[in-house]
Amino acid sequence: MKESFVSIQDLNLKHQQKSVLKDLTWAINRGENWALGGTSGSGKTSLAKIIAGLQNAAGEVKINFNNESHLPAEVLFVESWYQFKNLEGVANFYYQQRYTSQQAKDTLTVHAELVNYGKEKGIHLDKVEHILEALNFSSFASSQLIELSSGEHKKLQLVKALWLKPQLLIIDQPYTGLDAASRKNLNLLLDEVSTDGVQLILICNDSELPSSIHRFAEIVNGQISVSNSRTITSVSDDQHSKEIPDFLKESPVYSSENIVNMIDVNISYGEKQVLKNINWEVKAGEKWLLQGHNGSGKSTLLSLVNGDHPQSYANELYLFGNRRGSGESIWDIKQHIGLISPEFHWYFDASATVWQSIASGFYDTVGLFQQLPYTKGQQVDELVEYFGLTENKNELLSSLPLGRQRLVLLARTIIKNPELLILDEPCQGLDQQQTVHFNQLVDELCSNGMTLIYVGHFESQLPTCIEKRILLEKGEVKVVESLNIEILS
């Protein structure tokens, strides 16, 4: 008989009076590595937190650590959402702060963060270099935490987890924000620690998994459903039959035929050059894919388009027909743009309701601070219904599962039918069905003439409307090309 490592009996959890986990029972035997899937909001993250002792629930969870193992008798849960703090222990940051170099000194460097973690856990720095190199993260040692992109923050979390090698490692959305090479190397590293005795639970719906993952389950109707292979049988509520709201069928009103024009743009932080001689032109109605490895400069490039980067004034940059710094404010620029990014999600107002969060897109604020006119309120109601958020509209955004939070912010992004839609990894946290549905929505929106800049590492999860690609490598433009996204994916 196999020895049980994790034993879960009759687990029950409710959220907003609604059952999430219902008499859930699950036995994880010693030596088993699992992939746990399921739709967004099915309870995957909650279950992981309960196993790790980070959340309470009714029922019984027993973990039988191996006292003879050289690995720490610990359950480490790596969240999909990373919260770091400044030197005073506060996490009160604002979105543009990442690009303001003087204020960036308020946080630890990556190296200092790793030194502190090593001291806390009693592990040696010489054991981490191999992991840093495999994830192409060694060059970020002197970077401030606030300067890192979402993919780079994910790498830092993974570096610490793989360095520690706990007896049970649970990773929520391990591939979020990672480029293809990093995903491949992560799988090799996970196989490596598994050989050393670490047991894995990966919470994801991805198919490219480490070879050490040999058990598969998903949460369906609050209970564990075990299968013999990676097959996701449960799906989100089908929304394909819903018709897009009428106000989004209208073509955007363009202020200029030239949306973005960068001429020999350079961005540096001290001696570190992030963007080098960038030349890029985006015209009204074009659909672009922006790609590059983690750290290639994609987020910095987008911060120039958004109007958020202070160094834009020192460069020859034209947005919506106007030279940057010719008198327009950051809010004048944002009126033309609908934006979603992991970083923006981090800094969004957690005290806003779902309805208020969507409505704030009219004013480009991180919360709603004024009364909405009747017609605009109707448009918010239409999007709430379209995205299947009616039952959540008065709940706090922060109380929803991460995938549904992302749907709310996606609705916020398109509420004003903008000239330019910037979608930076928009499907992070969405399940497969939601991802397909969202990209179909993007295709429909863009068929009406909207301009698109789309950042995506997973080429199988892209809208079909994309027609051009710009590829960055170490801060430089490596490729600009026309493409057929159906062939690419």
Q: What would the two tokens of residue 326 be?
A: 């010719």
| 438-440-441-446 Cα dihedral, nearest 10 degrees | 130
Cα 204 to its chain centre, rounded Å, is: 13
Q: What would the two tokens of residue 465 be?
A: 């409307």
Contact 477, 278 (CB under 8 A): yes
One pLDDT digit (tens) per residue for the chain, 489 residues = 578 999 999 999 987 778 899 999 999 999 999 999 988 888 999 999 999 999 999 999 999 999 999 999 999 999 886 665 555 444 444 444 455 544 446 678 899 999 999 999 999 999 999 999 999 999 888 888 877 877 888 899 999 999 999 999 999 999 888 888 899 999 999 999 999 999 999 998 888 899 999 999 999 999 999 987 766 555 555 455 678 899 988 888 898 999 999 999 999 877 788 999 999 999 999 999 999 988 889 989 998 998 888 888 889 999 999 998 787 788 888 889 999 888 788 778 878 999 999 999 998 877 666 788 999 999 999 999 998 899 999 999 988 887 788 889 989 999 999 999 999 988 876 777 878 888 888 898 888 889 999 998 776 678 999 999 999 999 999 999 997 655 444
Reference 202, options 226, 179, 218, 182; nearest CA is 218
What's the one-letter identity of residue 419?
E
Q: What's the CA angle centered on 276, arms 151 and 263, to 5 degrees?
A: 115
Gap between the Cα atoms of 145 and 112, Å rounded: 10
pTM, 2 dp: 0.82
Which SS3 state, helix, strand or coil, does residue 9 take?
strand
Helix then strand then coil, in percent of the chain rounded to 5, is: 35, 25, 40
Cα 415 to its chain centre, rounded Å, is: 21
Gap between the Cα atoms of 135 and 122, Å rounded: 22
Q: Which strand (E) or helix (H) includes residue 407? A: helix 402-414
Contact 230, 36 (CB under 8 A): no
Contact 228, 48 (CB under 8 A): no
Q: Which strand (E) or helix (H) includes residue 6? A: strand 4-15
Reference 488, options 452, 462, 455; nearest CA is 462
Q: Roughly what angle, to the nearest 10 degrees, separates helices 374-386 and 402-414?
A: 140
Gap between the Cα atoms of 425 and 177, Å rounded: 7
Q: What's the CA angle centered on 93, arms 92 and 96, to 5 degrees?
A: 160
- pLDDT at residue 241, as a whole number: 62
Q: What would the two tokens of residue 40 be?
A: 């967004």
- φ, ψ at 88 (rounded to 5°): -95, 5
Q: HSE (CB half, 13 Å, CA atoms) of 293?
A: 14
- φ, ψ at 266 (rounded to 5°): -130, 135
Gap between the Cα atoms of 271 and 273, Å rounded: 6
Q: Position of tokens 């704030």? A: 360
Buried b (16+ CB within 10 A) or exposed e, 24-41: bebebeeebbbbbbbbbb
Gap between the Cα atoms of 378 and 362, Å rounded: 13
Alpha helices in 257-367 (DSSP H): 298-306, 330-334, 342-346, 354-359
367 DSSP assignment: S
What's the one-letter identity of residue 306?
N
- pLDDT at residue 224, as a whole number: 96
- pLDDT at residue 271, as a whole number: 79
- pLDDT at residue 105, as a whole number: 60
- pLDDT at residue 201, as a whole number: 98
Reference 319, options 400, 261, 404; nearest CA is 261
How many other CB atoms are there within 10 angstroms of residue 174's CB atom? 26
Q: Roughly what angle, to the nearest 10 degrees, separates helices 180-195 and 150-164?
A: 10
Return the bridge partners of 258, or none: 283
Reference 170, options 57, 26, 312; nearest CA is 26
Contact 284, 254 (CB under 8 A): yes
* Structural domains in the chain, sorted by start: 4-227 (3.40.50.300), 246-488 (3.40.50.300)
167 DSSP assignment: S
- pLDDT at residue 313, as a whole number: 83
Q: What's the CA angle centered on 231, arms 230 and 232, to 5 degrees?
A: 120
